[in-house]
Amino acid sequence: MTVKEPILELKDVHTYYGNIHALKGISCAIPSGDIACLIGANGAGKSTTLLTIFGVQRAKRGEILFKGYPIHHLRPEQVAAKGISQTPEGRQIFPRMTTLENLEMGAYLRNDKAEVADDMEWVFDLFPVLKDRTRQLGGTLSGGEQQMLAIGRALMSRPELLLLDEPSLGLAPKLVEKIFETILEINKMGVTIFLVEQNAHMALSISNSGYVMETGRIVLTDRAARLLENEKVKKAYLGE
């Protein structure tokens, strides 16, 4: 069995909001080409983990390595330039910009116009509804369409690692299935994915590995299939 090199490593990462110790020594490694998920209750520190990786929230102690390169001292635009993209919780699209302008913003660090056009078509293949909404303001899209736009915008930077924060939040069940099917499609194209998701069952069902977080600490790490069968996980997060 071939052991994959980690594309992302967190080593004893501590993050604070003022005096609040939000991340209390997080360590994990995401293999290149995999889907990994982070599950846990509200307030456990899941979103803070992604924000810290992306440089929005600074780690006070510890290391974050992307392809072996330390990134914990970088600003978000520098992290993005390394090949990481994030879809934040709540989508955070630009409501007064059109769908097309939102997607173009995702490629603002790129100057390879022909390949940007190719990636735009890829996004439209993944989310055909967006092609019909190119001139529509982002704020007038439905919740599901806004989520598709947020993911599409993140893909326009052509990331090697995609950080997804609660992609199913507030969506109808059919749309949730569509989003998760698309996450699998994105991964098949070679993009590594680190997924934070309240829908633990769906997240674990599509992931290679999983991490369970409680009050700023990772308390359980295993293959996703094994976590689905873990009695503690079933009781706490899968409603069984």
pLDDT at 117: 93
DSSP 9-58: EEEEEEEEETTEEEEEEEEEEEETT-EEEEEE-TTSSHHHHHHHHHTSS-
pLDDT at 89: 83
Element containing residue 200 per DSSP (H, E) = helix 200-206
For the chain, the maximum distance between any two Cα atoms, rounded to a whole number of angstroms, is 51
Q: Which two tokens stand for residue 150?
A: 């947020």
Query: Which CATH architecture group holds 1-83+160-240?
Result: 3-Layer(aba) Sandwich (3.40)
Residue pLDDT, tens place only, 89-125 = 877 899 999 999 999 999 988 889 889 999 999 999 9
Residue pLDDT, tens place only, 13-31 = 999 999 999 999 999 999 9
pLDDT-above-90 percentage for the chain: 85
Domain residue extents for the chain: 1-83+160-240, 92-158
Say whether pLDDT at 78 is over 60: yes
User: What pairing do the DSSP bridges indicate for beta strands 59-66 and 69-70?
Assistant: antiparallel
Residue pLDDT, tens place only, 214-228 = 999 999 999 999 999
Q: Which two tokens stand for residue 83?
A: 């090949």
Element containing residue 104 per DSSP (H, E) = helix 99-106
Q: Which two tokens stand for residue 35?
A: 């889907």
State the pTM of this model. 0.92
Contact 201, 228 (CB under 8 A): yes
Say whether pLDDT at 1 is over 70: no
- Measure Cα distances from 226 to 101, 213, 221 in Å: 42, 16, 10
Grade residue 3 by pLDDT with cuts at 50, 70 and 90: low
How many angstroms separate the CA atoms of 93 and 150, rounded? 6
Segment 71-93 mean pLDDT: 92
Segment 166-191 mean pLDDT: 91
